[in-house]
Amino acid sequence: MVRIAAGIPKGLRFAATPDAMPIAEAEALARALARWEPSDDAAKLLADRAADARAGQEYLDVFHIEDARTWDPNTVWSQLSSASPDRLKIPLGRNPTTGKTVFLDLKEAAEGGMGPHGMMTGMTGSGKSETLLQFALSMAMLHPPEMLQLLLGDFKGESAFAPLAALPHANGGVISNMAESAHKLDRFEDALNGEVARRLRI
């Protein structure tokens, strides 16, 4: 399924190299596809994909990333220090009324933050996993692994954090399905205690 259009839809930017072909081959492809008509399902799928692409670009816009192909996190990481007011501060999204970026600051209240503790509740399908994934990814995008280590685990065997397992910040990868494995729960506890001990040393 393809959609051929001239130019770039408003609000979208290239984040990949598209396939290319000579004009003659493109014309032959168009003729071969001419007998087919897009179904309602196809139109809905294209609309969903376009909405996903716009949402992805809006996410990057919050970080002032115009082109994901050329963005280098090391440039951001090198500007952050332990005394920086932007340490442990991440954008969560935009206020739907004002359009301004909403930030979450995990520093202690004495440092001008909101504090490092929190809790999130919600029904199944309400977006908890997506929110946590975005939160962890945002933290990793803005903080070097020397400053931020993530301990990623879940009790139900879900794979929400799987895309983050390869990050240099992911201490021990992702520990999953801990509710049914005492060994995994012990492993997660060891990883947590080890990280606490490391932080006490520094």
Give me the count of residues in the chain: 202
Burial bucket for residue 86 (CB in 10 Å: 0-12, 13-18, 19+): middle
State the Cα–Cα distance between residues 43 and 119, nearest whole angstrom. 39
Question: Which of 71, 96, 129 is the last residue in one of the domains?
Answer: 71
Does residue 185 lie within any of the structural domains?
Answer: yes
What Å distances lie between residue 135 and 23, 32, 93, 164, CA to CA?
44, 45, 10, 11
Domain that holds residue 169: 149-202
Does residue 96 lie within any of the structural domains?
Answer: no
Does residue 135 lie within any of the structural domains?
Answer: no
Does residue 24 lie within any of the structural domains?
Answer: yes
pTM value? 0.69
pLDDT in tens, 17-58: 778 899 999 999 999 999 888 778 877 887 888 777 777 778
Question: Which of 71, 99, 131 is the last residue in one of the domains?
Answer: 71
Does residue 48 lie within any of the structural domains?
Answer: yes
pLDDT in tens, 114-163: 998 888 888 888 888 888 888 999 999 999 999 998 888 777 766 778 88
Q: In degrees to the nearest 10, what's the CA dihedral of 89, 106, 138, 187? A: 150
Question: Which of 71, 99, 127 is the last residue in one of the domains?
Answer: 71
State the Cα–Cα distance between residues 166 and 157, nearest whole angstrom. 18
pLDDT in tens, 149-180: 888 877 776 677 888 888 999 877 777 766 67
Q: How many domains does the structure of the chain reveal? A: 2
Over residues 82-98, the mean pLDDT reads 89
